Structure 1
Amino acid sequence: MTKIADLRSQTNDQLGDQLLSLKKEQFNLRFQAATGQMEKTHRVGEVRKDIARISTLLREKRSAS
C-alpha cells in the first residue's frame, strides 16, 4: 500500500507509469481469480485503492495547474 506523501513527491510521468503498472497488476489478479489460482486475495483491494489514490492525485495536480 502506497502512502499519499510518497505519491505527492513524484512527477506526473512517474505517477502515470505507476498507474499503468497497477492496472496491469489488477488485470492479472482478476485473471488469477477467474482461474482459481489467486493466492493473495487481499492484494485486489490494495491495488484498487492505490489506483484510486493515484488517479485522485493526478486529477488534483491537473486542476491546480
Structure 2
Amino acid sequence: MEPTNSQTQALYRLCYRLTNAIYPGWQYKSIELIRIDERTGNLYVLAGNNLEFEIKRTGGYEP
C-alpha cells in the first residue's frame, strides 16, 4: 500500500517541523520510525521524547 499524495505532503511538513528547520527556538526532535498501517492506510510517526503522530489518508495529522 502506498501513501496518498496528501499523506506524503503532511509527512514532509511534520518532519520539517520536528527537525527544527522552521522554529529555531524549539528543541530538535529525532524521528525514530515511520510506518504505514496496512489495515487503515494511516501513517504513524514516532519521534523523540515519546511523540506519536498519526497521518490520516486525507493528510490531517494529530499527536
| Shared fold per TM-score greater than 0.5 | no
Instruction: Specify which structure has the bigger relative contact order, considering alpha-carbon pairs within 8 angstroms and separated by 6 or more residues.
Output: 1
Structure with greater Cα Rg: 1
Which TM-score applies when normalising by structure 2? 0.33
Considering fraction of residues, name the structure with more helix.
Answer: 1
Which TM-score applies when normalising by structure 1? 0.32
